[in-house]
Amino acid sequence: MRLHGMLAGHFFPVHDAFGNRGAVVWSGQANTLSYGDRLELQMVSIQIFNRLAEIGAAWKTGQVVLTERETECLRWTAAGKTSVEIAEILGLSEHTVNHYLNQVTRKLTAVNRTQAVVKAIRRGLIA
């Protein structure tokens, strides 16, 4: 580990909402961390573990997981807004909105945005 510049490590036991247990290990060059830094790393570790557990569960069940931004863009699309209008509403670029909507279309295996909206409503991803 020292050959790769990892002089110290911090180990955080974590668990998710389903009771699954795991550990997150951070390593680096700092020999000591302040109490506040350790608390922050512990909270980040819990968030990382929970998100990975969600992704893993969705992958196993075939469930689609959309990010908050993807869901927002899809909701506005369902409301009849164009990419330009959604970009203005959310304070994003049109390119970014199109990226989110393309990701949603891919995740839902839809051929276009309209089909993505319909699939998302049927799956309960948006109302």
Which pLDDT score is estimated for 10?
87
CATH number at residue 80: 1.10.10.10
Query: Alpha-carbon distance 63 to 32, whole Å?
Result: 41
Pairing mode of beta strands 21-28, 8-15: antiparallel
Domain match, 11 and 57 both: yes
27, 6 contact by CB (below 8 A): yes
Could you list the residue range(s) of the whole structural domain that residue 42 is in? 2-61
Report pTM: 0.56
pLDDT tens for the chain, 127 residues long, are 778 777 888 899 998 777 889 999 988 887 788 899 999 999 999 999 988 887 777 666 667 889 999 999 999 999 999 999 999 999 999 999 999 999 999 999 999 999 999 999 998 899 8
Last residue of a domain, one of 61, 81, 110: 61
77, 84 contact by CB (below 8 A): no
Number of domains in the chain: 2
